Chain A
Amino acid sequence: MLTAKIYVTLKPGVLDAQGDTVKSALETLGFKGIEDVRIGKFLVVRLDGDAREQARARVEEMCRRLLANPVIEDYSFEVEEAGG
């Protein structure tokens, strides 16, 4: 069993209204020196089989076709052995 950890983030330059709001909330709490807050999505996909290269190709296609919108988002992922 393999686990894919997928990160979907807004492209640099796309205004992240949620991130900006969280940044000012953190500053209100007294946290200093925050340059920027960006909010993204984190997906965990469990896959059957042990063939990593195949799994990477499958996850790549999932990201391209559905999980990320290339107009506004970037994605990255790692595939690892499913932990207990």
Chain B
Amino acid sequence: MKFGIVVFPGSWSQQDFHHVIVNVLKEDACYLWHKEADLNGADCVILPGGFAHGDYLRTGAIARFSPVMREVARFADKGGLVLGSCNGFQILTEAGLLPGALLRNDCLHYRCRWVHLRVESGHTPFSSAMQRGQVVRMPISHGEGRYYIDQAGWRRLVENDQIVFRYCDEKGALTEEANPNGSLDHVAGVCNERRNVLGLMPHPERAAEPILGSEDGRLIFASILHTLARA
């Protein structure tokens, strides 16, 4: 399977994704420069973390207008799998491909640490290798990860089972201390209504090898590969 990794000026996680896909998972990956208007035959598109266009104005606000994003939107519209992590999540919300927005962490600090996530839905192409209620461990690294959506939007997310990951403690409890950024309802990752676009603040690509302290991130890649193999 071929993963297309979008690179904006200021992206920084693209090489980590590339490494995991090619060296760990033994699959194909290519970089897609943000000015390209072609996804190069990718089976799954990844928007990595970083500070695209310096995060000027708002995180992801400028990046969403890059030529490649028109193709990403078209790809998602046809049902293609799109995964955004960290800055990639912020870009997907700005582009309207995912609901909600990401605001300055409530503590105002840049938070770089390991977090526990509770899987809230295994019914997505990105989480099918996980069970609802399962606790996984991945790192976060962001200053603007506080998920926000208005009441009506939040109700739609819950009704449609679109909340995929929530910040929790190691036992899966939604304690206040376990929420690193003040996200509404502990939301760490959401999918779109059609379930083919996922955004999450944590970094699965930095938790895909034992030497890094966790392999839980691989479950997301395994879910994607399983979904693509069945298609």
Q: Is the CB of A18 within 8 A of B104?
A: yes
Q: Looking at the complex, which one of B62, B106, B107, B148 makes contact with A72 (CB distance below 8 Å)?
A: B148
A67 to B61, CA, bound (A): 8
Q: Looking at the complex, which one of A13, A17, A71 makes contact with B105 (CB distance below 8 Å)?
A: A17
Q: Which residues of A contact B108 (CB under 8 A)?
A: 17-18, 21
Q: Is the CB of A71 within 8 A of B104?
A: no
Q: Is A57 at the interface (CB under 8 A from chain B)?
A: no
Q: Which residues of B contact A71 (CB under 8 A)?
A: 93, 100-101, 148-150
Q: Which residues of B contact A66 (CB under 8 A)?
A: 57, 61-62, 65
For chain B, the bracket of interface size reads 20 to 34
Interface string of A56-84 (1 = CB under 8 A from B): 00000000001101011000000000000
Q: Is A14 at the interface (CB under 8 A from chain B)?
A: yes
Q: Is A1 at the interface (CB under 8 A from chain B)?
A: no
Given A14-B148, A15-B182, A17-B182, A69:B107 Cβ within 8 A: no
A72 to B93, CA, bound (A): 11
Q: Is the CB of A72 within 8 A of B101?
A: yes
Q: Which residues of A contact B61 (CB under 8 A)?
A: 66, 69
Output the least CB separation between B1 and chain A (Å).
33
A72 to B103, CA, bound (A): 9
Interface centre among A13, A21, A71 (most CB of B within 10 A): A71
Q: Which residues of B contact A67 (CB under 8 A)?
A: 57
Interface string of B169-187 (1 = CB under 8 A from A): 0000000000000100000
Q: Looking at the complex, which one of A13, A15, A69 makes contact with B106 (CB distance below 8 Å)?
A: A15
A21 to B106, CA, bound (A): 10
A76 to B106, CA, bound (A): 26
Q: Which residues of B contact A17 (CB under 8 A)?
A: 103-108, 146, 182
Interface string of A5-47 (1 = CB under 8 A from B): 0000000011101100100000000000000000000000000
Output the least CB separation between B35 and chain A (Å).
18
Q: Which residues of A contact B105 (CB under 8 A)?
A: 17
Q: Is B94 at the interface (CB under 8 A from chain A)?
A: yes
Q: Is B58 at the interface (CB under 8 A from chain A)?
A: yes
A28 to B105, CA, bound (A): 22
A14 to B100, CA, bound (A): 12
Interface string of B60-88 (1 = CB under 8 A from A): 01100100000000000000000000000
Cβ-closest chain B residue relative to A41? B57
A8 to B63, CA, bound (A): 19
A10 to B65, CA, bound (A): 22
Q: Looking at the complex, which one of B65, B101, B104, B182 makes contact with A69 (CB distance below 8 Å)?
A: B101
Q: Which 4 A-B pairs have the closest CB atoms?
A: A71-B101, A72-B101, A17-B106, A17-B104
Known: A17-B107, A71-B150, A72-B101. 13 other contacts (CB 8 A): A14-B103, A15-B146, A15-B182, A17-B108, A18-B104, A66-B61, A69-B61, A69-B94, A69-B101, A71-B101, A71-B149, A72-B103, A72-B148
